[in-house]
């Protein structure tokens, strides 16, 4: 589309673009978002177009504080408030019945709106300058790996947007945890940066929503998503795969282990096997590997605890298009 994309920290410039119904990439603590005025159909349609995102996939609406929830949500269960009070601003998204002020395109025709208060100083300051909330999906082409720094956004969507607000590398590095309600019954739509153990402090018996690819309630639950272009295999037997594929160009993403390959083809996510550090670096490792023109990317399954559960969820979806 031919924008001469600028990258910077000017929230007033970002606010000007957004007020003119243009789209701007914004930093959050999870991943970068591709933001537009959530209340304006034209602005939101540009987000879908730039991402090539199917119109059935609703967007998260980012607000500046808890006192804004009822501007956009019709009914708010007590538990929703408890969650926001415990974790906002932070990597939590809650799906609630929407008010008419939120246009159908933002929620993909659903009667529910997903609300989140992002925990990033630049984006919170930007929201303070605006008199509308920001609809923002992750700032990647549909199905590809989410961006965790301004450079990832620039490489993927560079000419399609006028401005990237650069807030540095994302602190958490995985998308927000999404919680919805069936009546007053809460359930988990999407694992994410807010660990299940944290949520259980508020909702001890939280239920998982199961995958359904035919009618995705929350298309972040689509089986194939978050994928690199290079074939990705998750395995506990990386050394065996290495010897079976001698001569191929192979990259490895490991939690903390060394492997006998060229050092530029190995990313160790955390020397101390710290899962939070590993989660923060995971998408950057996938972006890096995908740019190396390898035949194969190998990764270990992560310990299935805490944030490791969300990492495994993303890795499985990223690998799933290569499993058939």
122 binds ligand TXA, rule: CB under 6 A: no
Task: Please answer whether residues 285 and 148 qualify as being in contact, where contact means their C-beta atoms are separated by less than 8 angstroms.
Answer: no
**Contact partners, residue 313, CB within 8 Å, separation at least 6:** 191
Applying CB under 6 A, the span of 218-226, 231-239, 241-249, 305-313 interacting with ligand TXA comes to 218-226
Q: How far is the CB of 154 from ligand TXA (least distance, A)?
A: 16
How many Å apart are CA 115 and CA 70, to the nearest integer?
10
Q: How far is the CB of 220 from Mg ion (least distance, A)?
A: 6
Residue 177 or 265: which CB sits closer to ligand TXA?
177
Among 37, 138, 148, 254, binds ligand TXA (CB under 6 A): 138
Q: How far is the CB of 194 from Mg ion (least distance, A)?
A: 16
How many Å apart are CA 75 and CA 278, to the nearest integer?
38
Among 83, 114, 194, 232, binds ligand TXA (CB under 6 A): 114
Q: How far is the CB of 174 from ligand TXA (least distance, A)?
A: 8
93 binds Mg ion, rule: CB under 5 A: no
116 binds ligand TXA, rule: CB under 6 A: yes
Q: Record the tokens describing residue 300, joined without a space.
A: 């270990």
Applying CB under 6 A, the span of 11-19, 78-86, 211-219, 299-307 interacting with ligand TXA comes to 211-219
219 binds ligand TXA, rule: CB under 6 A: yes
Q: How far is the CB of 13 from Mg ion (least distance, A)?
A: 25
List b or e across 39-56, with b for residues whose CB sees 16 or more CB atoms inside 10 angstroms: bbeebbbbbbebbebeee
Applying CB under 6 A, the span of 147-155, 160-168, 170-178, 286-294 interacting with ligand TXA comes to 170-178
What does residue 244 show for φ and ψ, rounded to 5 degrees?
A: -70, -25
138 binds Mg ion, rule: CB under 5 A: yes
**Contact partners, residue 113, CB within 8 Å, separation at least 6:** 58, 61, 72, 73, 95, 96, 97, 98, 99, 102, 106, 107
Number of residues that bind ligand TXA (CB under 6 A): 29
Residue 140 or 254: which CB sits closer to ligand TXA?
140
Among 24, 63, 84, 93, binds ligand TXA (CB under 6 A): 93
Residue 44 or 294: which CB sits closer to ligand TXA?
44
Residue 11 or 139: which CB sits closer to Mg ion?
139
Residue 172 or 265: which CB sits closer to Mg ion?
172
178 binds ligand TXA, rule: CB under 6 A: yes
Residue 138 or 280: which CB sits closer to Mg ion?
138
How many residues in total does the chain contain?
324
Among 60, 88, 153, 252, binds ligand TXA (CB under 6 A): 60
Q: How many CA atoms lie within 13 A of 114 on its CB side?
A: 29
How many Å apart are CA 70 and CA 265, to the nearest integer?
49
110 binds ligand TXA, rule: CB under 6 A: yes
């Amino acid at each position: 589309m031919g924008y001469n994309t600028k990258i910077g920290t000017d929230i007033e410039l970002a606010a000007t673009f957004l007020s003119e119904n243009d789209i701007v990439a914004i930093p959050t603590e999870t991943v970068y978002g591709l933001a537009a005025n959530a209340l304006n159909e034209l602005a939101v349609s540009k987000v879908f177009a730039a991402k090539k995102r199917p119109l059935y996939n609703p967007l998260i609406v980012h607000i500046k504080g808890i006192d804004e929830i009822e501007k956009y949500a019709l009914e708010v269960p007590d538990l929703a408030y408890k969650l926001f009070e415990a974790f906002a601003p932070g990597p939590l998204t809650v799906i609630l019945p929407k008010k008419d002020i939120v246009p159908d395109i933002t929620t993909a025709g659903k009667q529910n709106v997903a609300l989140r208060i992002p925990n990033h100083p630049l984006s919170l300051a930007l929201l303070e300058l605006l008199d509308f909330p920001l609809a923002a999906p992750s700032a990647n082409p549909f199905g590809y790996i989410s961006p965790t720094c301004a450079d990832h956004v620039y490489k993927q969507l560079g000419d399609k947007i006028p401005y990237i607000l650069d807030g540095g590398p994302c602190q958490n590095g995985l998308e927000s945890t999404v919680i919805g309600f069936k009546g007053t019954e809460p359930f988990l739509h999407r694992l994410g940066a807010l660990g299940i153990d944290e949520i259980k402090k508020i909702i001890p018996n939280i239920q998982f929503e199961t995958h359904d690819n035919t009618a995705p309630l929350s298309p972040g639950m689509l089986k194939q998503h978050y994928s690199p272009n290079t074939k990705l295999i998750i395995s506990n037997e990386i050394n065996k795969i290495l010897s079976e594929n001698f001569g191929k160009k192979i990259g490895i993403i490991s939690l903390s282990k060394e492997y006998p390959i060229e050092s530029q083809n190995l990313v160790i996510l955390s020397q101390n096997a710290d899962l939070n550090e590993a989660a923060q670096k995971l998408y950057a490792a996938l972006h890096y590997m995908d740019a190396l023109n390898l035949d194969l990317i190998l990764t270990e399954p992560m310990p299935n605890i805490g944030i490791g559960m969300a990492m495994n969820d993303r890795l499985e979806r990223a690998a799933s298009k290569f499993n058939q």
